[in-house]
Amino acid sequence: MCFAWQSSQMSVQDQNERPARSVARTPRIPVVVGEFDVRERIADGKWPVVRVRGGAHGGSEPTIHVVTSHDRPFGRYLEDFEPGDIYKHWPGKTITEADDHLFCMITMNHHPLHTNQWFAENETVHGKNVVVGNLVYSLVLGMSVADVSGAAIANLEIETLRHSKPTFHGDTIYAETRVLSKRETSKGDRGIVEVETKGLNQRGEEVCYFKRKVLVWKRENAPQRQRPYDESIWSDD
């Protein structure tokens, strides 16, 4: 049986010593809202919360709201991957000149093609700055993490990295991934998934392509996601 607390408004009038007045109070009244299997919801990672509004002393029937706490999916387990499946990652990202310059400075890549506008306009075949390739690759890889490797044990291998077309300041990059294969390892509690990922610009042109292999848990063996706090952060006390 599950109980919720119902709040109601009570009026109290003192007619002896002073003029009539109303005092709002909100007593906590237990209301039985029915039975349901809490264990099933917990197994799905959703904790049932029951909210009751109105009712009791006001004369109207209480309105019962059953809500759940949702844990955002991040990554996949071995059982979730099927060869041929395609993941359309979201959202895309516009690469700015500042993005390009910062990435070059952080990684110590000072090639003027990426950071010197005059050089790019006068001494290169493109006639303008080109975004450094490793930024494009890193961006596309990062876009795929939530759908592919967010729950992985390790990223094992990157192969066939190809910069298909140049990316320029102001281009917007999107990414999609296709599952190529999967297999369980000898340990039995994990497996290796091979995928291929494409980065595309706002014109639908492929600008980056790579394959990678990821070591992922089987669902029943994966560690449970934890946080350094509990549901009490949402208590109304």
The reported pTM is 0.73
Closest by Cα among 201, 200, 159 to 180 = 159
Q: Which domains does the chain have, with CATH numbers?
A: 3-71 (no CATH), 78-218 (3.10.129.10)
Express each pLDDT in 100-130 by its tens digit.
Answer: 999 999 999 999 999 999 999 999 999 999 9
Express each pLDDT in 139-158 by its tens digit.
Answer: 999 999 999 999 999 999 99
Contact 29, 63 (CB under 8 A): no
Express each pLDDT in 9-62 by its tens digit.
Answer: 444 444 444 444 444 444 444 444 444 444 444 445 555 555 555 555 555 666
Strands (E), the chain: 3-7, 28-32, 48-53, 63-68, 86-88, 93-94, 152-162, 172-184, 190-200, 206-217
Give me the pLDDT at residue 211, please: 98
The interaxial angle of helices 97-106 and 133-145, nearest 10 deg, is 100
